[in-house]
Amino acid sequence: MIYVERTLAIIKPDIIDKEEEIEDLILRSGFHIIQKRKLQLSPEQCSNFYAEQFGKVFFPNLTAYMSSGPIVAMVLARNCAVSYWKELLGPSNSLRARITHPHSLRALYGTDELRNGLHGSLNTSSAEKEIRFIFPEAILEPVPTGQRARDYLNLYVKPTLLAGLTALCKEKPADPMIWLADWLVEHNPNKPKLQYHISQ
């Protein structure tokens, strides 16, 4: 089984005009953009998002900066997504990044320590928490195995498939495979929520 890790990427307000260019770099670096959303956070939402930074000297400036305009949030997926995204970002201080990691995204798009252009999750647990914050409808649970998988099949898949096959026998369409596929999509009781969308 190949485990694909997810991380949160944010294009911050001052470089939102570089969105397409940055997305192209992300895709060329082997990431898949699972979800994308353009939104503007309120100062209160920024305070909640950066709650771990509360009490630090830069906290008021950080929340003001992050709520100063729209952002683009993306869920990125690939093997070792968190560490690869952090590596692509470079140091959080853009001035330092220009010296030590001149080809990193923060060196290229950031201005200084605060206005570093992009956000990345620190680790997998913070990635899950941040993804749930920005994309509350996201499905992050691992794919079930063993007894959990059998329970899922018995509870959701078998009843839906049985109903679909019964309808297929009654309908007797010319192309049964296409008919059944369309029926299953239309009658899926657990329509996936991992769809590419942009909302404001």
Catalytic residues: 119
Contact, 49 vs 63, CB < 8 A?
A: no
Q: Which residues of 106-124 are buried (b: 16+ CB within 10 A; e: fewer)?
A: bbbbbeeebbbbbbbbeee
β-pairing verdict for 5-11 and 71-78? antiparallel
Rg over alpha carbons for the chain, rounded to the nearest Å, is 21
Angle among Cα 20, 26, 27 to the nearest 5 degrees reads 90
Looking at the DSSP bridge assignments, the partners of residue 6 are: 77
CA dihedral 43, 49, 53, 59 (to 10 degrees): -20
Q: What SS3 state is found at 147?
A: helix
